[in-house]
Amino acid sequence: MHFDHRIASDRGADFLALAPDGRETILRITPGLADRPVVGDFAAVEDGRVVALAPRRGVLARARHDRGTAPQPIAANLDLVFVVTAPGREFSPPRVERYLVAIAAAGARAVVVLNKCDLARDPAALVAELYGVSGAAPVIAISAEYGEGCEGLDEFLEAGTTIALVGSSGVGKSTLANRLLGAERFATRAARASDGRGVHTTTRRELVALPGGAWLVDTPGMRAFAPWSAAGDVLDDVFADVAGAAARCRFRDCAHGVEPGCAVRDEVEPARYERWRALRAELAYLDRRADPVALSDEKRRWKSLTKLARAASRRPR
């Protein structure tokens, strides 16, 4: 079986795919196909239908808004993700942290891109702030509109590499995609003048081939992003400063609360520690939600705690 077509866009009733010769073709899926294709999938095709998908790797996913127990894949077979942010209201290092956790869980590399640096009063200060959360990921300041600093991305555009652009609406992902493509393929819009917020321009994920042989996936803006379950030490990889400080705590079972000799409390910025703790709790909940037994136990525990709290509130004082 030859997985020689690549899914370029999900159009709802059908899919746009790139054939081996680079031509675009419209495909439907075979009834009963185990998984719905996502952008970046390699597919086997017969008579204009997707009959099988190659095993996926590098799957960037997020938790579903409908509280479903399965992750929502954003794109598959990714090697690298550009996390794009920009000065103004959409500049959010905590949101960048969330993307980095999901990218690490996918097994892909990350690059943090500060776009629209020409609009910043002090781009170096914003870059320094991003380095405070980026861990091992480099931070590159550019202006996609004017081309300033974009050469810093060239080393990542290796032939055969699949790159996704993620970030909020209005940070200039589509402008950057057009810059990398060397053509006005993706529609662009300026942020709203009233409040500086981004306006959705890209409405669906789309994969295109770049001139040098790399692949690029542009994605719609995602202001709210909940990483899916991060197995293993992914969270510690992204929050290496917290993990390193925890290893220096006086007690091995330190909860990083009121214990004496807590290195986390002494060394890590409180806001970053609180974000780490919140993400750890969030991911643990997602793991339980995917495990019916664990979720049932958790519900029983909270039900018992609620009863105890109500009983205590009714006691005469």
CA 143 → CA 8, 11, 119, 171, 192, distances in Å? Answer: 27, 31, 9, 11, 19
Please give the structure tokens belonging to residue 196.
């500086």
Q: What is the DSSP string of 256-300?
A: SSS-TT-HHHHHS-HHHHHHHHHHHHHHHHHHHHT-HHHHHHHHH
The kind and range of the H/E element at 265 are helix 263-267
Rg (CA), the chain: 22
pLDDT at 316: 63
- Residue 154 DSSP one-character state: G
Q: Which two tokens stand for residue 187?
A: 């529609």
The residue length of the chain stands at 317
| Cα dihedral: 305, 311, 313, 316 (round 10) | -150
CB neighbours of 87 closer than 8 A, spacing ≥ 6? 114, 116, 117, 119, 120, 123, 126
CA distance 81 to 217: 9
Report the distance separating Cα 55 and Cα 197, nearest Å: 38
Strand partners, 164: 81, 217
Question: Would you state the pLDDT for residue 17?
Answer: 97
| 181's tokens | 């493509």
**Domains of the chain by range and CATH?**
5-53 (2.40.50), 60-218 (3.40.50.300), 234-314 (1.10.40)
By C-alpha distance, which of 254, 280, 286, 278 is closest to 267?
A: 254
Picking from 98, 119, 64, the residue whose alpha carbon sits closest to that of residue 276 is: 98
Question: What is the residue whose two structure tokens read 């019916």?
Answer: 292
Q: What is the structure's pLDDT at 306? A: 61
Q: In this predicted model, what pLDDT tens digit does every residue of 151-166 receive, in sequence order?
A: 999 999 999 999 999 9
As a whole number of angstroms, the distance between CA 9 and CA 26 comes to 10
C-alpha separations of 7 from 34, 43, 58, 166 in Å: 16, 7, 15, 18
What was the pLDDT predicted at 167?
Answer: 94
Nearest-angstrom CA–CA distance, 142 and 115? 5
Q: Which residues of the chain are modeled with pLDDT < 50?
A: 192-200, 293-295, 298, 302
Residue 255: how many CB atoms within 10 A of its CB? 11
The model's pTM: 0.84
Q: What is the pLDDT of residue 192?
A: 46
Q: What's the pLDDT score for residue 120?
A: 96
Q: What 3-state class would DSSP assign to 282? A: helix
pLDDT digits (tens, 9 = 90+) for 292-305: 544 455 456 546 65
**Residues 6 or more apart in contact with residue 122 via CB below 8 angstroms:** none
